Structure 1
Amino acid sequence: MIGTLNALVDLVEQRTDDEIDVTAFAREHGTTEYHLRRMFSSLAGMPLSEYVRRRRMTLAGAEIVAGASGLLDVAVRHGYGSVEAFGRAFRAVHGIGPADARRDGGPLRTQPTLRFRLSVEGSTPMHVTITTRPELVLAGHAATVPLIHEGVNPQSQEHIAGIPAEEHARLKALSDAEPSGILAITADIEPDAPEGAPLTYLHGVALQASTPVPDDLDRIPLEAGSWAVFATEGPFPETLQNLWAATATEWFPSNPWRLRLGPSIVRYLEFTGTHAACELWLPVEPA
């Protein structure tokens, strides 16, 4: 996977004037677009689409300051059909328009070319189990919340706090499948979504596919398949978020599995508010 990501970076450098066919690239390298975008975003700290835009505007900024080409020529060379669209993208990255950059020489924001390397230190111990689960249904109370990479998500917390205690007890009694108990479920997130992008947070339980779901509950059907279950314990939410990052930086690059489409699930075994013992369930398939 590390070699594939670096090949993708090289392709970004080669194709500065056209859309990159990520689906075809992933297929040629024996993986999926979904997994590739998720791994890129996790390791780079930004979506692939944002990296492409930053790199193109970095190169375009250098050309504009050099003054050897007209603005339309620079725009077309970097995949834009009009000076107006190019100007909007340029300003979004650099904070100034291309005409201002040409006149004043900057300031410009530079995005260096990325290079991925595999960490071999094993700095985050991970206890991982691969399990196969049949068709399931996740049922509970859903809300749309923003993606937050670090710290507590206040909108998720507000959603949970708004669920009455007796409803928590009802959900727990409904649970009849693994992972058992109350679950924190994240779904409907784009593979390279930036921070702040909307996602579905479901506070609920796992049910057998044959179990009737009460009409007042939201539901997410799950296909049968494999799951990688990562166990961790420590300060909340830092330990869980560090584990999420470590799956991308350490586990997936060195194991023959890749993410498949589906939600991520967190099962809390112990939770005090500041400390948690939990499991992170990620849907996987053989790479």
Structure 2
Amino acid sequence: MEMDWIVGFQKALDYIELHITEKIDYEEIAKISYSSSYHFQRVFSLLCGYTLGEYIRQRRLSLAGAELAHGKEKVIDIALKYGYDSPDSFAKAFSKFHGITPSEARRDGKMLKSFSRLSIKISLKGGQTMNYRIEEKEERIFTGYKRHFEGVPSERSQQEIDMFIETRGLQYILRGMTGQIETEYTLVGNIGDDGYDFYIAQLLPKDMRENLGKNGYLEADFAKYFENIRVPKQTYAVFETERCPYPSMEHLDLRKQIASQWLPTSGYRLADAPEIVVYHWFRKPKNKERYLELWIPIEKAE
């Protein structure tokens, strides 16, 4: 099964390179890689640190730069070749990537960026125990607030940390409503090439949740700041970080371990549903026992 995954991933990379000047069909990539479109894109971003769309864009701009420096084609022709519908949109993307304009790239001695193609390198890794459990949860409704971030969840943690710091007041309100001062939830959803939605949330009692913003409930307009996030019935693989005072950063490495070591041999693939992180923020004297749970939505691999 692991070898099928490796072969499929490499075939997908080869397909992208072969069709780099054409519209890339994500469904075809899924078929070639023996997975779903969502699973491939999510695992790709976990392993590589950038989205599949970002990889394709950077490969195209790298190749376009080489052609401008060494070829004689017109800028407009190269722009169209690599999927840009106007010289302006191409110039903007090109300048952002290379730091110079397409016209400047024609001049001798100008520095260009190279973004090499990915390839699979097999090495012996793993050989370590990963504790997990499989749980099925009925539909749950969380209450919280969100921001949309660019990039991929595993690589943009500073944005998430900043959000925690900047929205302390909203967190205190949610915690006060639940009475939970040592447990917090985050949800990651709508993951795509343009980024992802990041929620800070709690599980409120049903009557409290349904009355948010009604009749001046608790003398505040909660509907202005909070929303209900419906998470359908779902099967999860649940992993835990090590116990330590500051477990927040450990879950980034754990995510990559899950994608590279557990998933390929698990018989499961990632499901298109929100990923949930449960924060267990124990106070002193139990603060050294803090840990996070990663609830990874999964489905049986076909």
Which bracket does the TM-score occupy, shorter chain normalised? 0.7 to 0.9
Aligned length: 272
> Shift in Å at residue 105 of structure 1?
4.2
Q: How big is the shift at 1:236?
A: 2.3
Tell me which of 115, 140, 144 is aligned to 2:147: 144
Following TM superposition, by how much is the alpha carbon of 1:206 offset from its aligned partner in structure 2, in angstroms?
7.3
**Preserved CA contact (<8 Å) 2:183 2:280:** no
User: 1 CA distance for matches of 2:240 and 2:128?
Assistant: 12
**Greater share of residues in helix:** 2
Matched residue SS, 1:266: strand
Q: Measure the CA separation in 1 of the matches of 2:235 and 2:258.
A: 16
Contact map agreement 2:247 2:292 (CA 8 A) in 1? no
Question: Which amino acid is 1:64 matched to?
Answer: L
Q: Which moved more, 1:256-265 or 1:119-128?
A: 119-128
TM-score normalised to the size of structure 1?
A: 0.82
Residues 149 and 241 of structure 1 are in contact (CA less than 8 Å); yes or no, is this contact kept in structure 2?
A: no
Secondary structure of the equivalent of 1:280? strand
Q: How does 1:243-254 map to 2 (within 5 A)?
A: 243-254=254-265
**Distance in 1 of aligned mates of 2:249 and 2:129:** 15
- Give the aligned CA root-mean-square deviation in angstroms: 2.8
Q: Deviations over 1:120-171 (max 9, x none)?
A: 4227642111111222222x33132645634561212332454337x52532
Q: Which residue of 2 aligns with 1:77?
A: 81
Q: How does 1:249-260 map to 2 (within 5 A)?
A: 249-260=260-271
Change (3 A) 1:172 1:32: farther
Alignment partners' CA distance in 1, 2:296 and 2:113: 36
Shift of 1:115: 1.4
Deviates more, 1:225-234 or 1:235-244: 235-244
Partner of residue 228, structure 2: 219
Match of 1:202 in 2: 200
After superposition, the C-alpha distances for 1:39-58 in whole angstroms (9 at most, x for unaligned) are 11111111111111111111
SS of 2:114's equivalent in the other structure is coil
Aligned to 2:44: 40
Instruction: Give % identity.
Output: 28
Are residue 129 (structure 1) and residue 137 (structure 2) matched? Answer: no
Counterpart among 106, 112, 115 of residue 110 in structure 2? 106
Q: What amino acid maps onto 1:33 in structure 2? A: S
Distance 1:125 1:157 in 2: 34
Cα distance between partner residues in 2 of 1:65 and 1:131: 55
**Aligned-partner Cα distance in 2 for 1:125–1:68:** 56
Q: What is residue 219 of structure 2 aligned with on the other side? A: none
Report the CA distance between 1:28 and its aligned residue: 4.9
Residue 182 of structure 2 corresponds to residue 186 of structure 1: no
Residue-by-residue CA offset, 1:195-229 (whole Å, 9 max, x unaligned):
xx46231320277xxx4433326322222221000
CA positional deviation for 1:18? 1.6
SS at match of 1:184: strand
Distance in 2 of aligned mates of 1:62 and 1:188: 37
